[in-house]
Amino acid sequence: MIQLINTLLIGITAGSIYALMAIAIVLVWRSTRVINFAQAGMALLSTYFGYEAMVHLSSFWIALPVAMIGGAAVAAFIELVFMRFLLKRSAHGAISGVAPIIATLGLLGVIRALTSAIWGGQDVRIVGPVSNVGYSLGANTLAFSPLKLLILVTVIVLVFLLSLLFQKSNIGLSLRASAFSPEIARLSGIRVDGVRTLGWSLAGASGAVAGMFQTVNGNGSFSPDSIEFSLLLVSGFIAAVIGGLDSLIGAVIGGLVLGLVISFVLMYINSSLFFIAPFVILLIVLFIRPQGIIGAKAARRA
Amino acid sequence: MHRFQKFNNLLLFIAFGFILFLLSNRVDELRVYQGASIAVYVIAISSIILLTGYSGQVSLGHGALLAIGAYSAAVMRNEFNVPIVLCLFIAVLAAAIGGVLLGSAAARLSGPYLAGVTLALAIGLPSLANQFSILGGEQGLIFDVGFPPLRLGEDFTQYKWFFWISSLAALISMWFLSNILRSRYGRNWRAGRSNEVAAQLAGINTGRSKILAFTISAGIAGLAGALLSMTIGTVSPSAFPLALSFSLLTGAVLSGVTTLSGVMIGAVTLVAIPEIADVIANRIGASERITTNLPGLMVSTLLIITVLFVPNGPVEQLRSGKAKKLVRKRIKSLPKPSMEGKI
Amino acid sequence: MNRRKLITVSAVLAVASLAVTAVPAQAAEVGVSSTEIKLGMTLPMTGTASPGYSKIPAAVKAYFDYVNANGGINGRKLTLVVKDDQYVPTQAVAKTNELILKDKVMALLAPLGTANNKAVASVVNPGRRGIPVLFVNTGFSGFADKKKYPTTFSVLPSYIMEAKIMSEYIKDNFDGKKLGLIYQDDDFGDDALAGFKQAGINFAVKVPYASGSQSGTTAAGWVQKLQAGGAEVVILFGVSSATAAALGTAAVMKYAPQWILGSVGGDATTIKAAGVPAGVLYNAVGASFAPATTDTNDEYVKLFQDIYLKANPTQTFDNNVMIGMNSAFLTAQAIQAAGKNPTRKSLIAAIEKSGSTFASAALVPLNYSTTSHIGYNGYWFGKYSPTGDLKPAGGVYTVYTTDSGDGAVVKSTYKRPAMPAKGLPN
């Protein structure tokens, strides 16, 4: 019984982190209709920013905002310099549809190589601000600790803030309009370029938080080779797709589902299977509902 | 295509094969080994050219298809002691079956969804090996093609044997591919890629055409995978990381994904990059970390630059450049339109 | 340019690039020049398994530089070429190929990893090519088989030996308790399983992990299974990063059985560097065949530590460093014994003939002979101190030796001979 509860708790915590990654991917998709495979790499880079802040300022509470700002800045930079150029150039040709995808893959490789070269040799560890030792429930220890509670609360707050932003302002609509018909959006007075950059910045910040939490939730160390990073890369994308690439709520649901599934596979079956589980879920969902759990049944353009 | 042209084509391949054979006797072991790797990459990259360049479907996970081919060949060899050529055939078959399955699933998807599924496949499939002990787990299986037959002489190193086998396979598959791309099927694929609706209106069953593309591409990829394992001697999940799929994609983009002619460029570049990186790292006295990451950095940067500046590949770029020059010349030679009587 | 021309051009390009290499003139012996002897090493310098082991090249180089500063071996300098294989067997094959074909080393020194060495042996086949593989950095018992691996020399006691000696310790101290085991799911772990089976040990819980999958996330699953199975004594027979992950995660989940650390992953410095608090290691059981690294009265520890810290002042001297330098010491002696003009053949013959008399820091004898490529064959057991350093039980080294077969585990009466002057081959 306690094992079941623990599995659920671990799954929900991990799932909330994947939800953040998924949100990042959805934000980018919404604003530029590009799947940013480099998102996890950017999250990794932001986490290194956070690590440097930890080393010099010894406070997680400062490191987290530093990582978020760093992540937003990197994302905005990439959008301004890289993406605009790319989207202009690759409007035609055989691989026009997938040129942005391939470019982001290249970007991922570059970020991985650079971070590994710069920080690879050190023992990079981030210690959470509160303990990760679980609460006790009688004789048993719950897989729920002050740290995990912090993670959940932060994610809930962030999602709440984001949806508030999207509801109270026109940002959500502007994002979608800018992606679908930039000309018409401009004519309506939307600052298309600014809105796009904003979308990317929010995604970068969201990814940074995911990276920081994924690190402290594990055993504190991280690197481009670590399992934690691979999970972030794969799960972020798959959770976004499962949820239907267009909706924030879908991203959250996708993240939670994925987190729970991976947790169950890890605890009950076999630790080496947990990379196949996301793939199987993806296949199943795409087969049954190609538009995702909360996707609109829009026509899929090639 | 004229029968004469086809024959000419075949002759070209045979001539090329002969040159390779001559060379392999004069070159040292390292180059021969690299030559074998180049041949393997040629096969793998051409499979991507078929799928993405001609049929317009993007696959980020070709590494998984290579893995299927490699594992099938290894298992056949280890469990049933099947002769090598048959193992290669089985590799092609097994991967092709995988291609049919993947293609059927993929036919409903497009663009980013397809990319994502193939990406997840690339990451997830190799780790399946950990589940079945016959597949050797993380450590993998030994894939031993045996020593070259004694009648080839004492001095015939194993690497030369690899080179022969993989070059022969490369020549055969290139010949096969170039023929099929020029055939009706190739035209169907290109039609489906350009405009699916128009192609359907013209009577082409794009769904079936796409699945066929996936199947053939997968079969060829499986061959490449089996040969890759032959040169490495082992098959394990870690031989088919995401980086491999990326490298192949880079090689395809570098070669020019829409045409088979430039496939050598991509293959040679992929094999040359670790060498170049080594030289650079030694020259600047780099630390371990930089040395390990330099090849990956170079491949990724090359990919980005190519996609940004030469998205159709150097061959197409040259061709379209020439075409543009031709058009400009023609326009210049036209008589200038008279402005009389116009406002 | 029509298509055919283009194929021809690119084909010619490829062919030209192959042909451009000059075939080099034949050297006296590969890797041996009048001024230097080149040796090659493959091991994980980066990647999930690299923590701890990445210090070995610097350790070996430090000792080689020390020898070179004192005249080298018969006037030749010893150089080490290191390649990173990230603990992946396919990369080990590729990098070893580079060492042999490109860097043209005389011999391979201390390549790390059971799976890696097996892959290299079957693919690159140094045995068939006569390339010595010295002092492999793995305890896989199979490498001692001279017929299968004619040019390979073990040095570490085999995993079967270790498992058998560990089993004796368990029977003496933890009889009747429920046992758990975490092991790597490949030949490395299988060797240990064979040893435990030999000794008649039964495990209540066995947790395999796939090499490369160890992390905080997956370790939670391992601990969960151990807890569910009620294991009271748990053996950690994995690499350092897996051991650290298990210990750290168990601490967080408040699971504290009696830990027994295998030699491969038992280096305290590496585990502590991974963030495991020293308190978790306190009272865990560990084993080694060399003196404890904190035993500064030991002449070898003192010398090696001196040499290492002079060359790497910012690093810590730990078990990986000491074993690495010890192997370097053995190598220097082997090359000297190979004669004034060493060849690959003479190097192999030298170890077979006089290897058992080589000086070494270990508290266990070397067992090389014309019929045996087995190195050390024993361990002493100890406990980790409150600061997390391994110390022999009761302050006295009680060494047990055995074999990889069904021989009994016996207390060793081996007395380590004094270190030669300055720790150099004489």
C51 occurs within a structural domain: yes
Q: Do C251 and A133 touch (CB under 8 A)?
A: yes
Residue A296 pLDDT level (bands cut at 50, 70, 90): low
Note whether C137 and C231 are same-domain residues: no
Phi and psi, residue C179, nearest 5°: -105, 140
pLDDT at A302: 40
Note whether C125 and C49 are same-domain residues: yes
pLDDT at C179: 95
Average pLDDT for chain B: 82
In which domain, by residue range, is C367 found? Answer: 36-157+293-377
- Is residue C2 pLDDT above 80, yes or no? no
Interface membership of A276 toward B (CB under 8 Å)? yes
In which domain, by residue range, is A237 found? Answer: 2-288
The residue type found at B323 is A
Region B136-162: mean pLDDT is 72
On chain B, the residues whose CB falls within 8 A of the CB of A93 are 311-312
Count of domains forming chain C: 2
C383 occurs within a structural domain: no
Q: How close does chain C come to A137, measured CA to CA in Å?
A: 12
Q: Do B296 and A230 touch (CB under 8 A)?
A: no
Q: How close does chain C come to A266, measured CA to CA in Å?
A: 6
- Is residue B314 pLDDT above 90, yes or no? no
Interface test with C, best of B26, B37, B238, B271 (most C CBs within 10 A): B238
* Element at C128 (helix H, strand E): helix C126-129
Residue C15 pLDDT level (bands cut at 50, 70, 90): low
- Is residue B219 pLDDT above 90, yes or no? yes
Interface membership of C316 toward A (CB under 8 Å)? no
- Is residue C187 pLDDT above 70, yes or no? yes
pLDDT at B155: 62
A166-180, B182-196, C68-82: segment of lowest average pLDDT? A166-180
Higher pLDDT: A161 or B5? It is A161
A295 occurs within a structural domain: no
Contact C286, C381 (CB under 8 A): yes
Note whether C245 and C151 are same-domain residues: no
What is the DSSP pairing of strand C373-376 with strand C378-384? unpaired
Count of domains forming chain A: 1
Q: Scanning every residue of chain C, which has its alpha carbon at the shortest distance from the alpha carbon of B255? A: C10
Taking the C-alpha atoms of residue A13 and residue A128, their distance in angstroms, rounded to an integer, is 15
Note whether C40 and C68 are same-domain residues: yes
Residue A284 pLDDT level (bands cut at 50, 70, 90): confident
Exposed / middle / buried, residue C121 (Cβ in 10 Å: 0-12, 13-18, 19+): buried
On chain A, the residues whose CB falls within 8 A of the CB of C228 are 3
ipTM score of the complex? 0.81
* CA C98 to chain centroid: 21
Note whether C56 and C135 are same-domain residues: yes
Note whether C279 and C314 are same-domain residues: no
What is the DSSP pairing of strand C285-288 with strand C378-384? antiparallel
Query: What confidence tens digit (pLDDT) does each residue in A207-245 have?
Result: 999 999 988 887 777 777 777 887 888 888 889 888 888
Residue C304: strand, helix, or coil? helix
Interface membership of A287 toward B (CB under 8 Å)? yes
Residue A76: strand, helix, or coil? helix
C23 occurs within a structural domain: no
At which of C344, C362, C377 does a domain end? C377
Residue C1 pLDDT level (bands cut at 50, 70, 90): very low
- Rounded to the nearest 10 degrees, the angle between the axes of helix C3-19 and helix B3-24 is 10
Region C14-41: mean pLDDT is 70
Note whether C281 and C164 are same-domain residues: yes
- Is residue B217 pLDDT above 70, yes or no? yes
C418 occurs within a structural domain: no
pLDDT at B6: 61
C335 occurs within a structural domain: yes
Note whether C140 and C217 are same-domain residues: no
Select the residue of C47, C218, C228 nearest A271 (Cβ to Cβ). C218
pLDDT at C25: 44
C3 occurs within a structural domain: no
Residue C45 tokens read as: 């310098």
Interface membership of C209 toward A (CB under 8 Å)? yes
Q: State the CATH number of the domain containing residue C310.
A: 3.40.50.2300
Q: Do B121 and A279 touch (CB under 8 A)?
A: yes
Q: Scanning every residue of chain C, which has its alpha carbon at the shortest distance from the alpha carbon of B320? A: C1
Q: Do B38 and C14 touch (CB under 8 A)?
A: yes
C385 occurs within a structural domain: no
- Is residue B330 pLDDT above 50, yes or no? yes
At which of C233, C264, C288 does a domain end? C288
C138 occurs within a structural domain: yes
pLDDT at C26: 47
- Residue C112: strand pairing partners: C137
pLDDT at B8: 64
Q: Do B56 and A120 touch (CB under 8 A)?
A: no
Note whether C217 and C233 are same-domain residues: yes
Residue B69 pLDDT level (bands cut at 50, 70, 90): very high
* All residues at 6 or more sequence positions from B107 whose CB lies less than 8 Å from its CB, including other chains: B207, B210, B211
In the Cβ-directed half-sphere of C35, how many Cα atoms lie within 13 Å?
A: 0
Region C262-286: mean pLDDT is 90
Residue A203: strand, helix, or coil? helix
Note whether C168 and C266 are same-domain residues: yes
Taking the C-alpha atoms of residue B255 and residue B265, their distance in angstroms, rounded to an integer, is 6
pLDDT at B322: 80
pLDDT at B18: 73
Q: Do B308 and A86 touch (CB under 8 A)?
A: yes
C121-125, C219-223, C385-389: segment of lowest average pLDDT? C121-125
* Closest by Cα among B135, A210, B184, A274 to C213: A274
Note whether C271 and C297 are same-domain residues: no
Q: How close does chain C come to A129, measured CA to CA in Å?
A: 15
Q: State the CATH number of the domain containing residue A258.
A: 1.10.3470
pTM of the shown model: 0.84
Note whether C142 and C260 are same-domain residues: no
